[in-house]
Amino acid sequence: MKDFILKYLFRINPNTPGQPLLKSFNLLFPEATNVDWSKEKEGHFEVIFRINGNELIAWFELSGKWLKTETNCKIEMLDNSIREKLETFGQIMSSIFIEKSDCLPSYEFIIRDHFQVRHIFITDLEGNITERRNFDEGELL
């Protein structure tokens, strides 16, 4: 109800980020186009945008602190050595490059095995697996 009152009576959109957050975003991603903001339940803001034709998703605190960015990668963009390591487990269906404010960059892959079961693989930048779980059940393997 509060959001309705703010949005329609006072013409204030509660899902719009404030100036500190916008400034931080513009400094980090000055080439961003097709920018779409949303406020998450935890109070963080999520922004989906494009740079050079690639889709990215970033998360920020209201203060403007950057938390994480995920970049959707085409399979062809991956280094051959990474692809070769992961293709031994099955078909790579999607790949995401992940940068977080509190840890080293990584990749997340969804791979479908020869039984048509999907798995999530988290790897380091060389393609070494650091975590693996069943996609549908979320359990660690």
For residue 136, the model assigns a pLDDT of 76
For residue 43, the model assigns a pLDDT of 83
Q: How do residues 41-73 score in pLDDT, each as one tens digit?
A: 888 999 999 999 999 999 999 899 999 999 999
pTM of the complete model: 0.81
Q: Where are the beta strands (DSSP E) in the chain?
A: 33-39, 45-51, 54-60, 66-73, 91-100, 103-112, 118-123, 129-134
* 103 and 57, same domain (yes or no): no
DSSP category for residue 44: -
The first and second tokens of residue 32, run together, are 């961003």
* 48 and 89, same domain (yes or no): no
For residue 5, pLDDT beyond 90: no
Q: How many Cα neighbours within 13 Å face the side chain of 35?
A: 14
* 78 and 120, same domain (yes or no): yes
The first and second tokens of residue 49, run together, are 């945008």
Average pLDDT over the chain, rounded to whole? 88
For residue 87, the model assigns a pLDDT of 95
* 140 and 117, same domain (yes or no): yes
Count of domains in the chain? 2
* Domain's final residue, options 40, 62, 84: 62
* 128 and 90, same domain (yes or no): yes
For residue 137, the model assigns a pLDDT of 66
Q: Is 72 helix (H, G, I), strand (E, B) or coil?
A: strand
- What mean pLDDT comes out for the span 117-134? 95
Q: How do residues 67-99 score in pLDDT, each as one tens digit?
A: 999 999 988 889 999 999 999 999 999 999 999
* 52 and 79, same domain (yes or no): no
* 88 and 32, same domain (yes or no): no
Could you tell me if residue 68 is inside a domain? no
* 57 and 85, same domain (yes or no): no
Domain ranges, residue 80: 74-141
